[in-house]
A and B are shown apart, each in its own frame.
Chain A
Amino acid sequence: MLEAMAGFDERDSTSSSRPVPAFHKAVGKSVKGLRVGIPTEYRAPGLPEDVLAMWEQGIAWLREAGCEVVDVSLPHTRYGLTSYYIIAPAECSSNLARYDGIRFGKRVDGASLDAVYEASRAAGFGPEVRSRILMGTYVLSAGYYDAYYLKAQKVRTLIRRDFEQAFENVDVLLTPTAPSAAFAQGENQNDPVQMYLNDIFTVPASLAGIPGLSVPVGLNGSGLPLGLQVLGRHFDEETVLSVGGALEAAAGFAHRPTLHAGAGA
């Protein structure tokens, strides 16, 4: 599917004109001799035992497959989540402006154009979207742009540089996908920060624009799935897929989810 979706699109100015490799051939390729980096900053305090154990297991599997495992440092990782939750809502506040009730989105009538906008957007968007639009509008506002949006973009550059430096010494990075097992539907609804924190390991790759892959590799004590994340160099999806293939083969993960886990399934 990735192979079909990837590649140049003349209607997307941000797409790359590089030729698309045969990604499916990368899966199953030997990973012998690859250097795998373990970012020390991802060993965050408070990381649950089961997540840590699964990570160690993944490291062991890759060693067995012939990889060399080394520690690497990504010093700006800790600013990743905050930067992401400035940049993404900023873009979201602008991208969603078209849902104003005139051409797109639910329309609620009002006495003036501004009243139509206010009522339509209040009624059409859910609470999480509204909160992101408000955050995004705030960080782009006069007087706050430099302190939030511009600074976040600078941090984003530093995060990308961290990865580029790391990839001078290693071929891929291996990390947990999330700092905890999946939470149940409806859980954490009233704690957005907890929700955002769950993205802490995946967001830096998005900011840096590097390829990442999450592989389900095992269950924790409560029977909930745990995943490992493989990150690679810009445009080096093939190595990421090879390493992901090796993990999948070693884990032999065949569990199927039951809906509403933990919430009285």
Chain B
Amino acid sequence: MSYVIEGQTGQWEIVVGLEVHAQVVSHSKLFSGASTTFGGDPNTQVSLVDAAFPGMLPVINHACVAQAIRTGLGLNAQINLTSRFDRKNYFYADLPQGYQISQFEHPIVGTGTITIELANGETRSIGITRLHLEQDAGKLLHDQDPTKSFVDLNRAGVALMEIVSEPDIRAPEEAGAYLRKLRQILRYLGTCDGNMEEGSMRADVNVSVRKAGEPFRTRCEIKNVNSIRFVMQAIEAEAARQVEIWENGGTVDQETRLFDHTKGETRTMRSKEDAHDYRYFPDPDLLPLVLEQSWVDSLHAALPELPDAKRARFQQEYGITFYDAGVLVAEQAVADYYETVARGRDGKLAVSWVTGDLFAALNRTSTTIETSPVSAASLGKMLDLIADSTINGKIAKEVFEDMVETGEDPEASWNARACGR
């Protein structure tokens, strides 16, 4: 059953599109050689280009372009062999150039798709409109001095990918599923760490409501939402607000809003009248970005196996369910762990140990798959002991707990147990 809002005048459907800003994983910035490491002391990772010193010119970072192409390929999207950088002009204290270098008319990546899965097991395809490269701005620090604000330019010039979806999303749950899936793909590709708390992935949410079958009504944009949960809450709150306005005979104004998660409501940030006129025009300091098809092809050939493909292969190769395969591929490290355990063994038995006893143990010992006390190789050996009937299922549970405790391999645990008896 799709998501509807029950209004006084009937049912309303919501229409949502997402613009995700994903910070590119790269050593240096989009147009300068300064470092991109998170958490450096303020203004220690700033080149003369980032600080907009007069006469300094931008030079494109090849590695960031490669990351954008790889992301585009991972989103099954069209790669535009010719794209262009434009200047987006506006004044703000965190923007030393007075403009952001972005891609407006000719983005590097065109249309693509993401397949999302919902709780009821249904899948839906969400269209990607485009992906473009742009510079991040600096950061203002307001809490250092009672009367002054300070500017930290470490982030200024770091490469962002803006990934824009079609207005295909029809429920808060779908928005959440879209963001999780996008984050998963970015992490598999290694093009963005997807860390929303550190701000390396943030979302602008476009929301409107309509009666079934109607054309789109006016939308509002909720800026800079920094967690998946808040995105879902913001959509609910904003859609409810719009329904109320329409039902009371009012009109929703196109505007930019902010989500206040403590109050669970959105409020006006700037209205259409105050909207910036960004005066985009092609950056005369940069040539059009022209890509060789052969380079795109070689990046394509070197892409890692992505979640959807891995999931299908796990199902087929290891005879496990669609659901279990989904749990395993959610994180690449888990998928790798599972595959080490399952290769050449009973895949179904492997999945029940990994998603059952192992996950429980990780939880209990506050460790992650990367820091697991039981290595994949050890768990595999334990499955061998079960397979050759050295131990039975009940003993295996005990051996496994010893392994969690001691970090020893299963033979050692089993021997210790056998001798102790």
Binding site for B on A (CB under 8 A): 10-14, 90-91, 93-94, 96-98, 100, 102-104, 113-114, 117, 137, 140-142, 145, 149
Contacts and interface: CB of A to CB of B under 8 A. Distances in A.
Contacts of A102: 93, 96, 151
Contacts of B151: 102-103
A11 B57 contact: yes
11 contacts: A11-B56, A14-B287, A96-B98, A97-B91, A97-B98, A98-B97, A100-B91, A103-B51, A103-B151, A114-B91, A140-B281
Interface in B360-413: none
Contacts of B59: 10-13
Nearest to A117: B91
B52 A103 contact: yes
Given A13-B58, A13-B59, A98-B52, A91 B97 contact: no
B292 interface: no
B133 to A, nearest CB: 14
Given A12-B59, A94-B279, A140-B89, 7 more contacts: A12-B57, A14-B287, A93-B279, A97-B97, A103-B151, A113-B92, A149-B281
Contacts of A96: 98
A230 B54 CA distance: 32
B99 interface: yes
A103 B92 CA distance: 11
Contacts of B277: 141-142
A227 to B, nearest CB: 28
Interface of B: 51-52, 54, 56-60, 87, 89, 91-93, 96-99, 151, 277, 279-281, 284-287
A7 to B, nearest CB: 15
Contacts of B60: 13
Contacts of B99: 94, 97
Contacts of B93: 102, 113
A225 B98 CA distance: 41
A90 B279 CA distance: 9
Contacts of A14: 57, 284-287
A142 B272 CA distance: 14
B98 A100 contact: yes
Contacts of B281: 90, 94, 140, 145, 149
A164 B160 CA distance: 40
Nearest to B49: A11
Nearest to B59: A13
